[in-house]
Amino acid sequence: MYFTKSEWLKNEFSKTIDIQNLDLQKIVSLNDKLTQKEICDIYIPLVEYLSEKVKKEKAFLTYVQDNILNNKKEIPFILGISGGVSVGKSTMSRLFLELLRLYNPNWKIDLITTDGYIYPKQKLFEKGIMTKKGFPESYETEKLIKDLKKIKYGHDNVPTYTYSHLTYDRLKDNYYYINRPDILIIEGVNIFQTNNYSEELVSDYLDYKIYLDSEIPQMKKWYIERFFKLQQEAFQNPESHFYQYKDLNKQETENLAIELWENINEVNINKNILPTKKRADLVLHKDANHEIDNINFQRF
C-alpha cells in the first residue's frame, strides 16, 4: 500500500501527541532536518499505527501465555530501523523513541544501535577489514543475536555494547543495559541482512522493520556536507579518530569525503544495504529537503 505525502495527508488521524516540549536539538543528527509540521503530518500517525500493532501483539502473547504456556512473561516488541549511510536513521530512531514514549506513557521503551557491535578497531586491523567497516563482516553479529535473544526472552539488565563516534571505536567496559522494555528500537545499516550460512539472523528477532530510503546521489551529498561539518568541529579534538585531517583545506576535505564515500559507503549501500529494502515492512522515502515524500507499506 503506497502513499505519496499528499495522499497520506488525506487520511484522518487523531494526532493526539503533544510535542510542544519535544527537544529537537537532542533528536536531530548533524546535518539532518526535522520540523514539527512533519512530525505531526508523518510521524505521529505512524506512531499511532505502530502502537496499535504492539497492543495487538501484546494481547495475543497474553492469550498464548495464559492459555497455553501458563507462564506470564513480558516479551518486548522489537522495532528495527535501517537504511543507507547519512540518510537520517539516527534522527528517526530517536524521534520514534520519544514519540512512542509520549503516546504510551505507561510503556517502557528503549533504543540501541548496532554501532557498538562493530569489532573494535584493533580487531578490524588484525582481520584486515578496517576499510570494510560498516560492512556485514565487520560486525560481531553472533553476539548481537545472543543479546537480542536474551532481550526477547525477557532477561533482566542485558548489557549491550556502546560506541564512540569521536574515537571511531567501541567503548570498552561501557555497557548500556536493557531491562525488559515493552518496545525496543534497534537501529543499524545491516540488521535486515540474510546469510545462507547462518542458522539465525538479526531479523529473526525483529517484529517490525522500517527502511529509510533516498537516492544514492542525495545520500552522497548529505555525507559530504556532514563530513565538512565534522572536519570543522569533531575532527579538531585530539581524541578524534580523524584528528589527522583537522588542517585539510576545503578541496582536500571534499576529495577525502568523496574517496571515502565512493570506495566504502556507496559500495556497502549497493552491495549490502539496499538489497535488504525489500525485506522491510515499511519503506519511508526522503526527498532532497530531508522530508518524507512517500510511505510504502510493503507488509502490514
Domain CATH code at residue 212? 3.40.50.300
Find the mean pLDDT for residues 42-69.
Answer: 91
Question: Is-contact 186 114, C-beta < 8 A?
Answer: yes
Count of alpha carbons within 13 angstroms of residue 279, beta-carbon side = 20
pLDDT at 300 over 90: no
pLDDT digits (tens, 9 = 90+) for 113-124: 999 999 999 999
Please state the pTM of the whole predicted model. Answer: 0.96
Find the mean pLDDT for residues 34-48.
Answer: 95
pLDDT on residue 279: 97
Find the mean pLDDT for residues 247-257.
Answer: 97
Element (H, E) at 291: none
pLDDT on residue 64: 87
| Residue 261 binned pLDDT confidence (cut-offs 50, 70, 90) | very high
pLDDT on residue 195: 79
pLDDT on residue 74: 81
The overall average pLDDT reported for the chain is 95
Find the mean pLDDT for residues 59-82.
Answer: 87
Number of domains in the chain: 1
Q: Give me the domain span that covers residue 43.
A: 2-297
Q: In whole angstroms, what is the distance from residue 112 CA to residue 186 CA?
A: 5
pLDDT digits (tens, 9 = 90+) for 93-142: 999 999 999 999 999 999 999 999 999 999 999 999 999 999 999 999 99
pLDDT on residue 120: 97
Q: Which three cell numbers stand for residue 289?
A: 529537503
Taking 3-state DSSP, the helix, strand and coil percentages for the chain, each rounded to the nearest 5, stand at 50, 20, 35
